[in-house]
Amino acid sequence: MKLVESRQLPVAVYTPEQIRQNEAQAAKSTGINLYQLMQKAGEAVFELITQNFLQPKRIGILLGKGNNAGDGFVVAKLAAQAGWQVSLLAMPNCDNWQGDALTAKEEALKQNLTIQSAENHDFTQYDILVDAILGTGLKKNLTQDWQNIIEQVNAQAFQVVSIDIPSGLNAKTGCVMGAAINAQHTVTFIGLKTGLLTADAADYIGLLHFAGLDVDKVFAEQNHAYYRLSQFNELRGCFDKRARNSHKGKYGHVLCIGGDKGMSGAIRLSAEAVLRAGAGLVSVITHPDNVLAVSITRPELMVLGVNGINQELKDKVAAADVIVIGPGLGKSGWANGLMQYVIEQDKPKVIDADGLNWLAQHPCKQKNWVLTPHPLEAARLLSQSQYHVQYDRYSAATELQAMYGGTVVLKGCGSLIAGKHEIVVCKQGNPGLATAGSGDVLTGIIAAFLAQGFTPELAAELGVNIHAQAGDLAAKSGERGMIASDLYPFIRHLINQAVESKHD
């Protein structure tokens, strides 16, 4: 059985309902019955285990009620045949397996195995635990007795491998349903599930592995994926070498608007990010008091202080190819006037921060903008709670795009890029990016790509990937204490590295 690790995962992403409803048909089309599919799943998990433990050790198999337990029984049988000491550990009220899971149980018990209770068990005695408790059908919080066992596993277990998804994690949304297994490895089957890629998932899945079980290609042919995993390696080809006979006007003029009195930092961060991501010209409109603060350390920026809608501002807006508005904009009359004027202009825009807060109060829809809300800003845009957004980030991103049009980047762990026809997921990045100004840098990168001729959807996807990858490179010196401006050298490096790799 061929296992694929995180760096080579398939790009198609499905809801768990899609896979549950259609895996049988895909298996039938390839001449495989569901019990054979279960055997293949167990074999894939045991392959991973043998890759990590060359000599037979002690292994515990945690068993739930359904076919996930059947996969666990297959692993138990294979481990026993290979000389491992195997313990079968059933969760409370799990003793009535049926169908293929029952068949798998009977086969496992032929290896002289017995089933014990997982309650009040000492999990420290095992070299590895296999989480075969729950599959992808979980929709409500676990009962307290199951939560207690899972918390005990997380506190005691040396290493855990989860089958398909860590038990307790919602396979659709990625949210923890009361408690969830904290796995070091997760082996998922047939297709990537939405819940493995966003929200709480990154803290629970460990290293993600994929096994197609010999039906994944047929499944992909038979089922449309509405979601896609973004892979930076696949995006490298978007960056071409620049002609030697070039000038700055060929690479776009971005106008960054923001920075009310005393709030110069955010718009300064965005503007330099535009430069670092390759735009030819960058102008800044800010409060007159901020002109020196924005320009003094970056003379390449053309900075104009304005106090109202005057002809100079109108000329700057007319000359721009792309407009950034929102970072440090504030909520004063100064900000309100600028937003009202900019929204009326038919130009590509990237709107962030206070620009999004203004938009929540004055909803409208445009095709050629990119909105970049974090969960709280998204909640304001939807007139919902932040919990509503985080509980189902895919639905929230879909709602935002339908309501406001254009392209929406819902930032967070597993950032989502929602266009009209699909949602793209970026699973790169790290907690070091959760720092003041990081979003302002992302805004600037996306604007730079818009100015260089990419579509809003592609500019957003490229921007999110470059931002996340730059964050991962910066974090090699440590996530704590990382600041937004630490990303600049890595932004430049990644873009130029992509150009060079395309033409090697």
In-domain check, residue 467 = yes
Range of the domain at 289: 248-502
* Contacts of 94-100 spanning 24+ positions with Cβ under 8 A: 94/63, 94/64, 94/65, 94/69, 96/65, 97/65, 97/69, 97/70, 99/67, 100/34, 100/35, 100/38, 100/67, 100/70
- Please indicate, yes or no, whether residues 380 and 464 belong to a single structural domain of this protein: yes
Q: Quote the DSSP letter at residue 58.
A: E
Q: What is the CATH number of the domain that holds 315?
A: 3.40.1190.20
Mean pLDDT in residue range 220-244 = 94
Residue type, 20: R
Rounded to whole angstroms, the Cα distance separating 389 from 393 reads 5
Global confidence as pTM: 0.96
Q: Quote the DSSP letter at residue 308.
A: S
| Domain-terminating residue out of 168, 199, 228 | 228
pLDDT at 4: 64
Query: How sure is the predictor about 6, in pLDDT bands with cuts at 50, 70 and 90?
Result: low
In-domain check, residue 118 = yes
Mean pLDDT in residue range 147-167 = 98
- Please indicate, yes or no, whether residues 254 and 109 belong to a single structural domain of this protein: no
Rounded to whole angstroms, the Cα distance separating 43 from 187 reads 11
Query: How sure is the predictor about 103, in pLDDT bands with cuts at 50, 70 and 90?
Result: very high
- Please indicate, yes or no, whether residues 158 and 49 belong to a single structural domain of this protein: yes
- Please indicate, yes or no, whether residues 118 and 256 belong to a single structural domain of this protein: no
pLDDT at 1: 55
* CB of 139 closer than 8 Å to CB of 170: yes
Closest CA to 161 of 49, 80, 36, 269: 49
In-domain check, residue 238 = no
Rounded to whole angstroms, the Cα distance separating 124 from 443 reads 47
| Domain-terminating residue out of 196, 228, 260 | 228
What the block records as the tokens of 301 is 């920026």
| Domain-terminating residue out of 228, 258, 284 | 228
φ, ψ (nearest 5 deg) of residue 121: -100, 150
pLDDT at 377: 98
In-domain check, residue 444 = yes
- Please indicate, yes or no, whether residues 279 and 157 belong to a single structural domain of this protein: no
pLDDT at 500: 84
56-87 residue pLDDT tens: 899 999 999 999 999 999 999 999 999 999 99
Query: Residue 24 pLDDT > 80, yes or no?
Result: yes
* CB of 86 closer than 8 Å to CB of 59: yes
- Please indicate, yes or no, whether residues 199 and 339 belong to a single structural domain of this protein: no
Q: Which residues contact 288 (CB under 8 A, 6 or more apart)?
A: 305, 306, 307
- Please indicate, yes or no, whether residues 209 and 277 belong to a single structural domain of this protein: no
Q: What is the CATH number of the domain that holds 108?
A: 3.40.50.10260
- Please indicate, yes or no, whether residues 100 and 141 belong to a single structural domain of this protein: yes
478-500 residue pLDDT tens: 999 999 999 999 999 999 999 88
